[in-house]
Chains A and B, each alone.
Chain A
C-alpha cells in the first residue's frame, strides 16, 4: 500500500521567491495498482514523483510504502524519467546491471528482460548507437530489473512517434502485469492515461492536489486509439470540460534534448 500525504511543497522559482507546487495532496495506491496522475503542465506532477522517489526531501508531508516510511536503503523503487538517462559510457547490459548487485541472478534477470524487449542483439552496444525508442526500452528494463515494489514514471514516452510509444506502453503493461509492481505514472496526455491506468488521479493547476479520481474498468489490452478509449475520452470531456481543459493536446511538445 502506497500512501502519500503532502501538506506543502515549495521550491524557489527563477527569481528565488518560493513557488507553491503542491498543497494538500493525498494519494493512495493499492499493491499492484496502476495509477496515472494527470494534470496540466506546471501543476507539480514531476515534483510529486521526485518527492515520492526521495530525490527531493525538502517537503512537509510523508510517503509510506507498505506502512513504513522509506529509508535511503530502500532498493525497490524503479524510476523512469522523461529522457532515457542512460550512462553513455556503459553498454546496454551494463546500464541495466548498474542498478543491481550484478549477482548471477541479476544478470539472468537483466538478460531475460532485455531479450523480452527485443534488445538481445544489442547487449554490448553503447546507448548512443540506439534509437530513442530502443533507449527507452533499455530504461524500462533498468526499471524492472530490480523487481520494484513501486515504479515511478515521469512522462516516459513523450516525444516518441505514435507507433513506438504504443509499443513501449504494451511492453510496460506486460512487464507490470508480470511483476506486480505498483505504478505511479505521470502524464499530461489523458488518452495515454486511459490506455494504461487502473485509476486516474487528476491534479489541479498549481498548487497541485487531487481533484478527481476515476477508476477504470476497460478491458486490457487497450491502446489510446481503441474505440472504447476514444468513447470514454469524449464522455469525460463532455462531463468535466473545465477540469480537462489543456489535457487533450494530441501532439506532444518535444521535450527531449
Chain B
C-alpha cells in the first residue's frame, strides 16, 4: 500500500438533517429558573385566591389536599388509568394506520391522487362531528370512543408521514436495490430510519391532540375516565375537583413526554450527535 497523506483531515459532512437546536437542559442556571418560575406560578395562584376569596378559585393547598383525598379513595387513579388506556389504544391505532396510509400515499402517486380528497375532508371535519357520528352509528361504547379519537388523528399522521415518504432518499434506496437486500431488511434499516423524524413529529403532535380529544369523547359518551369526572364536577360546580384532576392529568402528560418520547427520540437520533 502506498503511503499517502492521511485523509482523516476534516471533510465536508454528508447531507444530514439539521441538528436539533441546542441541548435541552442548558447551563446550570436554567434549572433554578424553571423552579423559580413554578414557584412564582403557585404564588400568583395563592395571591389571586386570597384576593378574590371566591369558591370558584380555590387555593393551591385546597387543590393538593383534594388530590390526596381522591388518590386515597382510588377514584382518581382509576379514572386516570381508564383514560390513559384509551389514549394508548387510540394513539397506537392512529399511528399505525396513519403511518401505513402515509407511506403508501407518499410512494404511489395514483393512490395519493385517489385519497387526497378524502384526506382534506378528514382534516377539516370537526372532532366533535366525528365523535357524535361514531356514538350514533356504533353506540355509546369504548370501541366507538376509540375509533372516534383515532379517526380525528389519522389524517394529520398521514400528512406528516406522507411528507417523509416523499422525501426518502432514492440514492440510499438504490444501494439496497443494488445489493439485493431482502424487502424486510430494506424497510427496517434503509427506509424506516429516514421516516423517524416525521414519525416522531407525528407522535408528539398526535399525543397532545389525543389527550384533549379523549376527554371530550369521555365527556360526551362514557361513564368513566377523567373527561367524565370533569363533566360531573362541572355540573356540581366543584372547581377544586376540576383543578385537582387537571393538575394530575397535565403532570402525567409531562412525565410521558419526558420519560418516554424524549428518550426514545434521543435513542433514535443518536447518530446525529
Contact = CB atoms under 8 A, between A and B. Distances in A.
A13 interface: no
Contact of B178 (A79, A130, A135): A79
Contact of A54 (B171, B177, B185, B272): B177
Determine the interface band of chain A, counting residues with CB < 8 A from chain B. Answer: 35 or more
Contacts of B178: 53-55, 77, 79, 152
Contact of A72 (B180, B193, B196): B180
B26 interface: no
Contacts of B172: 85, 87
A128 B272 contact: yes
A131 B175 contact: no
Interface string B247-273: 000000000000000000000000110
Name the prevailing secondary structure of the B interface residues: loop
Interface stretch (A35-43, A165-173, A207-215, A232-240): A165-173
A256 to B, nearest CB: 8
A174 B189 contact: no
Given A54-B177, A98-B189, A126-B271, A131 B2 contact: no
Given A55-B174, A85-B171, A131 B9 contact: yes
A134 B180 contact: no
B2 to A, nearest CB: 5
Nearest to A143: B179
B60 to A, nearest CB: 46
Interface string A72-90: 1111011101011111111
Interface stretch (B10-18, B127-135, B145-153, B231-239): B10-18
B271 A75 contact: no
B201 to A, nearest CB: 17
B190 interface: yes
B8 A79 contact: no
Interface in A107-128: 126-128
B4 interface: yes
B13 A81 contact: no
Given A79-B179, A99-B181, A133-B8, A167 B2 contact: yes
Interface of B: 1-2, 4-5, 7-16, 171-172, 174-175, 177-181, 185, 189-190, 193, 196, 271-272
Interface of A: 53-55, 72-75, 77-79, 81, 83-90, 98-99, 126-128, 130-135, 142, 146, 152, 160-161, 163-164, 166-167, 170-171, 174, 221, 223, 256-257
Given A75-B179, A85-B175, A132-B7, 8 more contacts: A55-B177, A79-B179, A90-B189, A133-B7, A164-B4, A167-B1, A167-B7, A256-B12
11 contacts: A55-B178, A77-B178, A77-B180, A79-B175, A79-B179, A84-B14, A90-B271, A128-B13, A135-B14, A146-B179, A166-B2
